[in-house]
Amino acid sequence: MSHISDKYEAVIGLEVHAQLATHSKLFCGDATTFGAAPNTQVSPITLGHPGTLPKTNKKAVEYAIKMGLACNCEIEQYNYFARKNYFYPDLPKGYQVSQHTTPICKGGYVTIKTGEETRNVQLNRIHLEEDAGKSIHDIDDQFTCVDYNRAGVPLIEIVTEPDLHSADEAYQYVTEVRRLVRWLNVCDGNMEEGSLRCDANVSIRLKGETKLGTKVEVKNLNSIRNVKKAIEYEIERMIALVEAGGTVKQQTRSFDAGNDTTFAIRDKEEANDYRYFAEPDLAPFHLSDTLISGIRESLPALPVALLAKYQTELGLSEYDAAQLCAEKETAHYYNQVLQHTQLYKAAANFINGPVKQYLNENKLGFEQFTVSPTQLAALLQLVEDGKVNFSVASSRILPAMIAAPEQDALQIATDMNLLQVSDTSELEQWVNIALESMPDKVTEYKKGKKGLIGLFVGEVKKLSKGKADPKLVTTLIQEKLK
Amino acid sequence: MEITDKAFDQLAHLSRLQFTDTEKEEIKGDLQRMIAFVEKLEEVDTTGVTPLLHMSSASNVWREDAVKGSVTREDALLNAADADGQFFKVPKVIKK
């Protein structure tokens, strides 16, 4: 298949809907909590009762601007909402309030990395709109049941240009968008609960062709893995279809996670006619330069910037830097540790290593990590000064610090009798015992098998229960066996 | 602009409305007159005039992000054509 598929190029555009993490809805005060009992977070405005007046949630607008600035978009200063008219039971008013003509964020890009290549995926727009209610088809034989708790929850729709060319790029893109919304605290990024949803527009064309092929829209992609699988499947399906002499039909398809395939849910109907017009019930809004620059200044350092800073200013490897920037909480913690130590590399190793391991094993998030950045910095200093070794620090002292966050690292190490011994007379005793226990090896060493030094040091470490300073021990043994 | 049967049927479909033939003729006439009215307005030269999208001059009318104003589920379901105490019930949307 690979030689045939080499003839074709896939063209993919993604629409990501992100529910904004506001407490209340976009145009009224209903709560937005996920999982509430059906129809308990509804008001006459949500239900589209006559005579009700919507009012825009300022926080939602600010969140949209935040995301736009983080994606390098131009912010539209003059905004108004439009009605998108269509009938569906999950849409109580008979129209969705959206931004048709003036998306709040225009253009922009999201930087992704696939393999060695880093590039900017071009965005078309990010606009604000309200979510629809939820239809449930499987609890009643005769009827569809509708829950309007979700109706009116603020969404941003992040729309790319047809600028992605593989399932892998799409995977990286959605991963990056999810990291960004979480980084900015504008959306919890939870795809299983539907806070972040993705539709993919996929088409293929012969390489070198500039016209876009007929596209298929794939819906219901509720995990990043499924985004990738659905696109992989679609590309293969289309290539096979075209190779067999067929043509791609414009369709809406759905992903079946049961067998990793997609199936048609509808062919392109007669052109949709949404009869957009400006929403007369909502005042337009004008975003001042002051407001926009205020939000720009409030933005946290973004992952792309931190990634570069960690490598160029702190000398971390790309891998270590990427690990720290994978989640906002980790980077935030690392930044705090940096306030208390200059051991940049050691701090990165310790956070990416034992700390993450502990958190993963206990299924905890970084925000639940009880050891303060100051404390961790102190522990790293103990290792740096040779007072304890790395393995004792990570396997013995760290758990003790987690259990008793109010105690300091040195106190714990002293109390647990874990400080490395650098008193030469005590070390000499262990060295003597170790060497006496393996006279054959000592002879071999003396005959030139210098690699055996590791064995001797290891034996001393064992005798001392990890407390012997390995550097001193090595020197001592070398002296003794000269 | 003439309201053809095709245009009429399309509008009726988009509005999810159904009409008898008598009603259809009557409404077509009404629609025709409404369109003629708008066509009259179009005679005015509006070159260089910014479209008036909102009748009020108000702008930046914000709501703070606070939870309030919801009704009880019992009240919410009061006006439903059909409900089961928890959900609004509507005809099956998709066939499984």
Q: Do B89 and A145 touch (CB under 8 A)?
A: yes
| Residue B8 CB neighbours (<10 A) | 16
| CB contact at 8 A, A255 and A265 | no
Would residue B63 count as lying in a domain?
no
- Residues in chain A within 8 Å Cβ distance of B66: 23-24, 29
Instruction: Specify the residue for token string 């790309």.
Output: A318
pLDDT means over runs of 10, chain A (482 residues): 78 98 98 97 96 97 98 97 94 95 96 92 98 93 95 98 97 97 97 95 94 92 95 96 93 92 80 87 96 97 94 95 93 95 95 94 89 93 88 89 87 84 78 88 87 88 81 85 82
Q: Which residue has the higher pLDDT, B67 or B10?
A: B67
> Where in the sequence is the domain holding B38, given as residue range(s)?
5-42
Q: Whose CA is closest to A172, among A106, A224, A248?
A: A224
Q: Which two tokens stand for residue A257?
A: 């996670």
Burial category of A411 from C-beta neighbours within 10 Å (exposed 0-12, middle 13-18, buried 19 and up)? middle
Partners of B54 on chain A (C-beta within 8 Å) are 80, 278, 280, 283-284
Pick from B70, B87, B94: CB nearest A31: B70
pLDDT at B93: 76
Query: How far apart are alpha carbons A70 and A176 in whole angstroms?
Result: 12
**Cα atoms in the Cβ-side hemisphere of radius 13 Å centred on A404:** 12
Whole-model pTM?
0.86
Can you give the residue ranges of every domain in chain A? 2-291, 301-415, 424-480
| Tally of structural domains, chain B | 1
Dmax of chain B from CA atoms?
Answer: 56
Q: What ipTM, to 2 d.p.?
A: 0.91
pLDDT, residue A98, reads 97
Q: Which residues contact A434 (CB under 8 A, 6 or more apart)?
A: A456, A459, A460, A463
What's the gap in Å between the CA of A42 and the closest CA on chain B? 5
- For the four alpha carbons of A361, A363, A366 and A371, in that order, the dihedral sign comes to negative
What was the pLDDT predicted at A414? 86
| Residue B90 neighbours by CB distance under 10 Å | 18
B78 found inside a domain:
no
Evaluate if residue B66 carries a pLDDT over 70. yes
Q: What CATH number should be reported for the domain whose range is A424-480?
A: 1.10.10.410
B2-9 average pLDDT score: 91
Give domain status of residue B22, yes or no.
Answer: yes
The whole-angstrom separation of Cα A371 and Cα A408 is: 10
Condensed to tens digits (0 to 9), the pLDDT of residues A387-446 reads 888 888 998 899 999 988 888 888 888 888 888 777 777 888 888 888 888 888 888 888
Chain A residue numbers with beta carbons less than 8 Å from the beta carbon of B91 are 143-144
| Residue at B15 is within a domain | yes
Exposure of A365 by Cβ count < 10 A (0-12 exposed, 13-18 middle, 19+ buried)?
exposed
What's residue A388's pLDDT?
A: 87
A266 touches B: beta carbon within 8 Å = no
Which tens digit of pLDDT belongs to each residue from B74-92? Answer: 999 999 999 999 999 999 8
